[in-house]
Homo-oligomer: A and B are copies of this chain.
Amino acid sequence: MALYVHKYGGSSVADAGKIVNVARRIADVYDAGSQVVTVVSAMGDTTDELIDLARTVSDEPDPRELDLLLSTGELVSITLLSMALRNLGYDAISLSGPQAGIRTDNAYGRARISQVDPERLRHELANGRLVIVAGFQGLTPDEDITTLGRGGSDTTAVALAAVLNADRCDIYTDVEGIYTADPRVVPQAAKLSEVGYGEMLELAAAGAKMHPRSIELGAVYNVPIYVASSFSDAAGTLIHQSPDDEQMEDRIKVTGIAYQTNVAKVTVCGVADKPGVAAALFEPLASSGVSVDTIVQNTSADRTTTDISFTVTTDDLPRALREMSSLQDAVGAQQVINDPTLASVSIVGSGMQNTPGYASRMFRILADGGINIDMITTSEIRISCIISQEQAQEAVRLLHRGFELDDDG
């Protein structure tokens, strides 16, 4: 019997009517003879509302307490979905993250799944039940509740699909699939029918709407992930081990354009140019949970001091600045400056780095559009430029047209 893991996001379960609609979709798959495990997010804007509620009693809510509070959002949606299925005559059971065996580290607010114990899930499936699992949450070794960060329900779904050896993980959302660029920015963007994990990872990390860790997990465990709309039956995008992933050299093209607007740059000026300085700066950042994206180091003219710049999300900027100011004396920095008004735009495709023509073409397109490039980074399948936030959407449109992705059909 086929086994599918479905994931429905908050907008798909935003009210009772939508929950009943999701219940019917699950029932249809069950009636067609498949086992289904469904992962759901909190209803609509519940998570944001709970964060607002926390702020009514505390300026800076304790991360452990906040995670326990936020975990209630998914408990509400899973129990309602299970009740709706039972009301339609199906035997359903809801499981919290801990009940579903999701174990995590204790990085509150951004926990990583360390292990999934599938015993209870297998037991319920063996009893012929439709299993509904709370996304976004897990349990630490000390039995405290954690959340996995924004979009964490995607990761929950792929992790369950991996451990249950599911035939496919379907991510149902409010868009119809993965596009060559954000359709709200580029009306000519085309829907991809399939995409490799690697390219999707870059598209997701650089702004497309999927949790990057879910794609990483999918790639590692080779879980086919299908992204489609929960409101229509239009064909979506299959993320899988595509031939491209293995034959990069043979087929080089730009798959899509990604962007991210909440980028901040921190520059630590005039630090001694000697071994250990970068470690002294970035180790404390890592242990305080700040994700650093691009890092650029410029040696000064006299070659005794250097400026180190890096980018973080604007959310992480206050923490990054706190860490830097407490380190400033230790590394002998002259000053720490920052710019929170940046964005990144990326071209994503197979074998980018080995084809220098793509980078220069990207820089030319941006230059012709009057867009200044602040920093550049490249990976095997991505070239990203840090530019000003207000020019981000224009840059995406120019690159989408310049790399001949516009769907003129």
Residue in contact with A58 in the complex, picked from B61, B69, B83, B143, CB distance below 8 Å: B83
Using known A-B contacts A65-B94, A76-B69, determine if residue A16 contacts B56 with beta carbons closer than 8 Å.
Answer: yes
How distant is A38 from chain B, measured CB to nearest CB, in Å?
A: 14
On whether the beta carbons of A79 and B54 are closer than 8 Å, the reply is: yes
Q: A57 near B: Cβ within 8 Å?
A: yes
- A76 CA / B42 CA spacing, docked (Å): 14
Q: Provided the pairs A86-B62, A144-B99 are in contact, do residues A19 and B57 lie with their beta carbons within 8 angstroms?
A: yes
Say how far A108's CB is from chain B's closest CB, in angstroms: 12
Compute how far the CA of A83 lies from the CA of B98 in the bound complex, rounded to whole angstroms: 23
Instruction: Report Cα–Cα, A75/B98, bound state, in Å.
Output: 15
Query: How far apart are A17's CB and chain B's nearest CB, in angstroms?
Result: 9
Q: How far is the CA of A145 from the CA of B145 in the complex (A)?
A: 15
Within 8 A of B (CB), among A13-68: 16, 19-20, 23, 50, 53-54, 56-59, 61-62, 64-66, 68
A57 engages B80 (CB within 8 Å)? yes
Residues of B within 8 A of A144 (CB): 99
- Interface size range on A against B: 35 or more
Residues of B within 8 A of A23 (CB): 57
Within 8 A of B (CB), among A66-95: 66, 68-69, 71-72, 75-76, 78-84, 86-87, 93-94
Interface residues of A, dominant DSSP: helix
Q: Taking CB as reference atom, which chain B residue is nearest A50?
A: B76
Name the B residues within 8 Å of A120 (CB-CB): 143
Docked-complex contact B86 and A75, CB < 8 angstroms = no
Q: Is A311 an interface residue (CB 8 A)?
A: no
Chain B min CB distance to A310 (Å): 31
In the complex where A68-B75, A75-B72 touch, is A54 in contact with B80 (Cβ < 8 A)?
Answer: yes
- A75 contacts which of B69, B80, B83 (Cβ < 8 Å)? B69
Q: Indicate if the CB atoms of A93 and B79 lie closer than 8 Å.
A: no
| Of listed A80, A87, A143, residue having the most chain B CB within 10 A | A80
Quick one: closest B residue to A74, CB to CB? B72
Q: Which residues of A contact B (CB under 8 A)?
A: 16, 19-20, 23, 50, 53-54, 56-59, 61-62, 64-66, 68-69, 71-72, 75-76, 78-84, 86-87, 93-94, 96, 98-99, 120, 143-145
Given contacts A19-B57, A57-B84, A57-B87, 18 further A-B contacts (CB under 8 A): A16-B57, A20-B57, A57-B80, A57-B83, A58-B84, A62-B86, A65-B82, A65-B83, A65-B93, A65-B94, A66-B79, A68-B75, A68-B78, A72-B72, A96-B145, A98-B143, A99-B144, A120-B143
List 3 A-B pairs, minimum CB-CB distance, nearest first: A72-B72, A16-B56, A69-B79
Q: Show 24 A/B contacts (Cβ-Cβ < 8 Å), sorted by A.
A: A16-B53, A19-B57, A23-B57, A50-B76, A53-B76, A54-B83, A57-B84, A58-B84, A59-B87, A62-B83, A62-B86, A64-B93, A65-B79, A65-B82, A65-B83, A65-B94, A66-B83, A68-B75, A68-B96, A69-B75, A71-B75, A72-B75, A72-B76, A98-B143
